[in-house]
Amino acid sequence: MSLSAIAVVGAGPQGLSIAEAAAEAELPVTVVCVTGSSRKHAAKRLRRTLQLRVEVGEIDEAEAEAIFARVAFRRDLSSVTECDLVVESAVGDVRSRRAILATLEGHVSRGSVLASNTARGQLRAMAEVLTRPDQFIGLRFFHPASHTPLVEVVPLPDTAPGAIIACETFCRWLGKTPVEQVDGDVAPVLRSERPREALG
């Protein structure tokens, strides 16, 4: 599958950091503010983060503006409909995040991948509410996601191979190294590099 647009559900520090990393990799990103943060507040925090990076010389003003322009802030979960990959990174307990996932599944297209940034031990409980568990996977970024080079890819027993490949391709597009949990351990998976054209 191609990845032309992604969504991050949750505008807490980790959710915004994931969105920042994707936008810096030139992907359009929809951030859905589901708990706490208003769209205005989330946008303000992302701007502040980018400005700090400008001040320390990581990026220049033009790059900061380009990154910010690729991020759209929304309140409605239905705004993820056109996204190829949706990463749930909401702040809250398992019960509330399960409810978010169940609603999200009704909005994502059948070929889209639904991922969660939750802890590995909670993924099975999250998957129980889904009718298409083959398209669900754990995608755990380490904080801050925009600067940490590793991303943990956690397939469940029902996860389709295509969902795994899509998430690993996404990680590499961000310039990060995907590591896959295998039999309870986290081990690098040395899959063949996918060209950037696979994302277009």
Q: Which amino acid is at 144?
A: P
Residue 95 lies in a domain: yes
Helices (H) and strands (E) in the chain, counts: 6, 9
pLDDT band at 187 (very low <50, low <70, confident <90, very high): very low
Alpha-carbon gap, residue 68 to 110, rounded angstroms:
29
pLDDT band at 36 (very low <50, low <70, confident <90, very high): low
Per-residue pLDDT at 4: 87
Residue 164 lies in a domain: yes
Read off the pTM.
0.87
Alpha-carbon gap, residue 105 to 131, rounded angstroms:
8
The two tokens of residue 115 are 């991922």
- Domain of 93, CATH number, reads 3.40.50.720
What SS3 state is found at 174? coil
Per residue in 64-93, pLDDT (tens digit) is 999 999 999 999 999 999 999 999 999 888
Domain count, the chain: 1
Residue 20 lies in a domain: yes
**Residue ranges making up the domain that contains 120:** 6-199
Arithmetic mean of pLDDT, 188-197:
40
Q: Which of 21-25, 49-53, 135-139, 186-190 shows the lowest mean pLDDT across its residues?
A: 186-190
The two tokens of residue 137 are 């996977």
Q: How far apart are the first and last CA of the chain?
A: 10
With 0-12 / 13-18 / 19 or more C-beta atoms within 10 angstroms meaning exposed / middle / buried, residue 52 is: exposed
Alpha-carbon gap, residue 133 to 58, rounded angstroms:
39
Q: Looking at beta carbons, which pairs linking 48-55 to residues 24 or more positions away fall under 8 Å?
A: 49/16, 49/17, 49/20, 50/20
Residue 34 lies in a domain: yes
Residue 1 lies in a domain: no
Alpha-carbon gap, residue 22 to 181, rounded angstroms:
23
